Amino acid sequence: MKFGEIPVDEAVGAVLAHSLKAGERSLRKGRMLSAEDVAALRSAGRRTVVAARLEPGDVDENTAAAEIARPLAGRHVSVAPPFTGRVNLFAEVAGILVFDRAWVDRLNLVDEALTLATIEPYAVVEPKQMVATVKVVPFAVRRDSVATWLAAAATGGPLVSVAPFRARAAALIQTRLAGLKESVLDKTVQTTRARLMALGSTLLPDRRCEHAVAELAAEIAGALAGGAELVLIAGASAIVDRRDVIPAAIEAAGGTIEHFGMPVDPGNLMLMGRHGAVPVLGLPGCARSPKVNGFDWVLQRLLADLPAGAAEIMRMGVGGLLADIPTRPLPRAKVAAEAAKAAPRAPQVAGLVLAAGQSRRMGTLNKLLIGIDGKPMIRRVADAVAASQASPLLVVTGHQRKKVEAALAGTEARFIFNPDYAQGLSTSVKRGLAALPPEVDGVVVCLGDMPMVSAAVIDRLIAAFNPIEGRAICVPTRRGKRGNPVLLARRFFADLASLSGDVGARDLVAAHADEVAEVEMESDAVLTDIDTPQALARLAATAKVEA
């Protein structure tokens, strides 16, 4: 790749290194300059530009990013479309993120131009959470570097996957000694139930007995007979030896002891046992607290069907110092909260579907209820948003509200009624924005009469969205013509709410041209709205329409 200052007359096909203004035209960094762009630059008096030009054997940043990201995604991980040389990977289910740290290092050593960043291995993840990102640093990279990366990735199999949580019925057995208050036992039940519920499992009715081998062995047997798939034992006294009361009771009930102790603090005194296929854990005293401790790490792995035996536990020492210490300026809970706020994350984008209009141009029909390939038009739009990375999904209704909501029965949509729908599109936008949760970073505004827009289109807009890098408004294009839906950052919500009448965000987008990212799409779906009988007739040529 050649990089540097080149004459404008030689810049067609070059990739612009820095954003420029050429008259009324805004040219963003990373844009491949067209003949029209060059003409605008020439008219604006520019004689040179700083740009990159690909040479034989080079791969452009987006193609390279897509290629090196593809083999990384294992089970329950999806790959977003590339944009500005970046590809994000997302969890599809709740579970534990699994990858080999050594393989990440090996890939990052292939070429400084190719990078892979992940969250920590064995972290708990939620659906649609970003778990890794690939970034090609320059505008292009050599094909042989891409080939070396792919060869290294192929020898390791899918490198990033999510082990989903599987619901279990767990039993909690607590032992008593003189002086131990029942309120302590009650609180332990609440804390344990909350831990399990957060991971998709349930707690059976708790059991209590004296802190003695025979009594505890009988309760273990009873819990197993009652269908427990996981047995948790909170002792009135901490386990101090493999021959102590709790391990002895596990063996007396027919179980075995696999491991005692772990290099995690708090959590050192945890015991791992088993009765057949059922794990039986002797809990450390810190497990009575909701604060994160070594027991959490083991529980998470067990509920995700990941190995959690002696070898795995003994390798938990790195990062295993969780206890508050005098040199740490904040309590552990506050440190965790502050770290969570500062941690990089994917922008959260909500989906807002406008479905309140009166369909006047369609005549007597409500266009949103017209069947297209077996689904009402509005259902196709809502399903596409629900299948995308956008969340939550809000639908603004108005005209024939009950019929529209009935067409969306069973979806995850939250309905917002706009009583002022007759006053125009802007009233629906205002209602929808007011209902968005405060944590969203942006919103993709979808029109209810554009049924051919797919989840992939929305995801491509979200992949491009990055307000920090100046892409605060993302607009789909097809052959240079702008369409819908449009994604806007939160900082524009107040401007959107000030609109009036039957207008959308076109003027707002025009007023902030420097922050607009045009995202080219592969079909005419982003230009196709079905709002007239003529448009419906054209659609009928390629789809089954039931008016």
- pLDDT of 265 > 50? The answer is yes
**pLDDT value at position 504?**
67
CATH for 59-164 is 3.90.1170
Stronger pLDDT, 495 or 147, i.e. the higher one:
147
Q: pLDDT by residue (tens digit) across 137-167?
A: 999 999 999 999 999 999 877 789 999 999 9
Region 469-474: what's the mean pLDDT? 88
Q: pLDDT by residue (tens digit) across 308-333?
A: 999 999 999 999 998 654 444 444 44
Lowest-confidence region among 255-264, 280-289, 361-370:
361-370
Domain 2-53 listed as CATH 3.90.105: yes
- What whole-number distance in Å separates Cα of residue 357 and Cα of residue 421? 6
What are φ and ψ of residue 328, in 5° steps?
Answer: -85, 125
- pLDDT of 346 > 90? The answer is no
- pLDDT of 41 > 60? The answer is yes
- What whole-number distance in Å separates Cα of residue 224 and Cα of residue 226? 5
Number of other residues whose CB lies within 10 A of the CB of residue 139: 26
**pLDDT value at position 323?**
62
- pLDDT of 24 > 80? The answer is no
Give, in order, the Cα–Cα distances in Å from 392 to each of 91, 239, 327, 440. Answer: 16, 46, 41, 9
The one-letter amino acid code at 92 reads E
Q: Taking a C-beta distance cutoff of 8 angstroms, is the pair 122, 97 a contact?
A: yes
Q: Taking a C-beta distance cutoff of 8 angstroms, is the pair 263, 309 a contact?
A: no
- What whole-number distance in Å separates Cα of residue 210 and Cα of residue 462? 57
Domain ranges of the chain: 2-53, 59-164, 169-322, 349-546
Domain 349-546 listed as CATH 3.90.550.10: yes
Q: Which of 519, 445, 536 is nearest to 482 (CA)?
A: 519
Lowest-confidence region among 106-120, 149-163, 228-242, 262-276:
149-163
Region 181-202: what's the mean pLDDT? 96
**pLDDT value at position 540?**
87
**pLDDT value at position 544?**
85
**pLDDT value at position 1?**
86
**pLDDT value at position 505?**
78
Q: Which of 444, 448, 446, 342 is nearest to 405 (CA)?
A: 448
Q: pLDDT by residue (tens digit) across 90-117?
A: 999 999 999 999 999 999 999 999 999 9
The interaxial angle of helices 61-69 and 143-154, nearest 10 deg, is 10
Lowest-confidence region among 303-312, 355-364, 458-467:
355-364
**pLDDT value at position 315?**
95
Region 334-339: what's the mean pLDDT? 44
- What whole-number distance in Å separates Cα of residue 348 and Cα of residue 219? 47
- What whole-number distance in Å separates Cα of residue 268 and Cα of residue 438? 40
CATH for 169-322 is 3.40.980.10
Q: Is 368 helix (H, G, I), strand (E, B) or coil?
A: helix
Question: In 235-282, which ranges are E strands?
Answer: 256-260, 271-275, 278-282
**pLDDT value at position 434?**
94
**pLDDT value at position 514?**
80
Q: What percent of the chain is modeled with pLDDT above 70?
A: 95
**pLDDT value at position 19?**
85
Stronger pLDDT, 27 or 317, i.e. the higher one:
317
Q: Taking a C-beta distance cutoff of 8 angstroms, is the pair 280, 263 a contact?
A: no
**pLDDT value at position 336?**
43
